[in-house]
Amino acid sequence: MAFISGIQQIGIGCEDATKTFTWLRQAFGLNVKIFDDEAKAALMTRYTGGEVHARRAILAMNMNGGGGAEIWQFTSRHPKAGKKVLWGDYGINAVKMKSNWVENSYDIIHKKIHCTKPKKSPEGNL
């Protein structure tokens, strides 16, 4: 039996990788570019209707470590809108972020996106 204890990165599809990186940097402090690459995504044909498409990918992290965000933008076609994601759907539809200043991070983030208020852990920590 396998036990998943963490995720290295979350993939974020977008129409504009530069704009998305700027937003993630401001909202979550993901300001370190591990890579910024443009190539044909031959290994992604399972998810792209059997066609090889060109893409740009940026892996962004912050200096505190933990997970990162892989920002993924098609460069050979316009992304197609999918169905609305609902709780219970397959895939990742919620993300947790590591923070040394939880209340300060919440004050910044909740102004930009919907997020839940910080809750204490079973040990009583925020």
CATH code assigned at 39: 3.10.180.10
Phi, psi of 17 (to 5 degrees): -65, -40
Range of the domain at 42: 9-78+96-109
The predicted structure's pLDDT at residue 38: 96
Amino acid 65: pLDDT: 66
Determine the Cα angle at 37 with ends 4 and 78, to 5°: 90
Domain count, the chain: 1
How is 49-75 classified by DSSP, letter by letter?
TT---EEEEEEEE-TT-S-EEEEEEES
The helix (run of H) or strand (run of E) holding residue 27 is helix 17-28
pLDDT on residue 28: 82
User: Rounded to two decimals, what is the model's pTM?
Assistant: 0.74
Q: Could you give the 3-state DSSP secondary structure of residue 37?
A: strand
Residue 116 lies in a domain: no
**Does residue 89 sit within a domain?**
no
